[in-house]
Amino acid sequence: MEAPAGDYITIKALEDGVNIIGLTRGEQTKFHHTEKLDRGEVMIAQFTKHTSAIKIRGRAEIITEHGRLESE
C-alpha cells in the first residue's frame, strides 16, 4: 500500500447543499470530481498528483494544517 502523498483538509457543511469541487493539475485546470454535502456532513479531502485545488461553494468550516476558516 502506498503512503499518502498530499496534504489533507477537512470540510464540514454548515448548511445543506455545500458543493466541493476538485480541480486538476496540468496545463489546463479542469473539474475532475464533485461532492455535495448536507448540514453536519464532513468530508476529508487530499491534495494529490491529480488534484491541485479544491473549490467550496456554500457555508462550510474548513480545517487545514494551517488553521481554520469558514466560507460564506
Q: What percent of the chain has pLDDT over 70?
A: 92
This prediction's pTM: 0.80
Give percent of the chain above pLDDT 90: 51
> Would you state the pLDDT for residue 14?
98
Give the pLDDT band (50/70/90) at residue 6. Answer: low
Q: Structural domains in the chain?
A: 8-70 (2.60.40.50)
Phi-psi group of 67: left, alpha or beta (phi > 0 → left; psi -120 to 50 → alpha; rest → beta): left
* Burial environment of residue 65 by CB neighbours within 10 A (0 to 12, 13 to 18, 19 or more): exposed
| Mean confidence (pLDDT) of the chain | 87
Listed range (3-7, 26-30, 60-64) with the worst mean pLDDT: 3-7
